[in-house]
Amino acid sequence: VQLQASGGGLVQPGGSLRLSCAASGFSLDYYVVGWFRQAPGKEREGVSCSNNIVANTYYLDSVKGRFTISRDNAKNTVYLQMNSLKPEDTAVYYCAADPRTYYSPNYYCTSADAMRYWGKGTQVTVSS
């Protein structure tokens, strides 16, 4: 089971990035998936989590209306589209997945260590 995140980089405030998380060794169709981030000196926080089985999605309040989580089941990949980026979005972003779909996305995103499988992070820096 592997998760590989990519797509991070340096972007100016107001800009956009799309993060990708490719899964191998299992199908994301039947997993809760999520994106988390950790800024220097801060605890990891859940940005967005999605439960495909019950069509339920969680977003951190500070990213609502700017970030969108989505899946491409054919590519076994999860995306995080990030628009209107702000300097405070600067962090290392991680993707994660868990097969226990009876838990809500809210539970996973507000319990930063609940997900079973984690990918390595990708750095997002928002700066002029």
Instruction: Give the model confidence (pLDDT) of 30-88 as tens digits.
Output: 899 999 999 999 999 999 999 988 778 999 999 999 999 999 989 999 999 999 999 99
How far is Cα 14 from Cα 85, in angstroms, rounded to an integer?
5
Task: Using pLDDT thresholds of 50, 70 and 90, give the confidence band for residue 6.
Answer: very high
Q: Residues with Cβ < 8 Å from 48, sequence gap 6 or more? A: 34, 35, 57, 58, 59, 60, 63, 67, 68, 69, 80, 109
- pLDDT confidence of residue 55: 77
Determine how β-strand 91-98 pairs with β-strand 117-118. Answer: antiparallel
Predicted confidence (pLDDT) per residue in 21-31, tens digit: 999 999 998 89
DSSP of 10-40: EE-TT--EEEEEEEESS-GGGSEEEEEEE-T
Q: How far is CA 38 from CA 43, 92, 93, 124, in A?
A: 6, 5, 7, 10
Q: Is 56 exposed, middle or buried (0-12, 13-18, 19+ CB in 10 A)?
A: middle
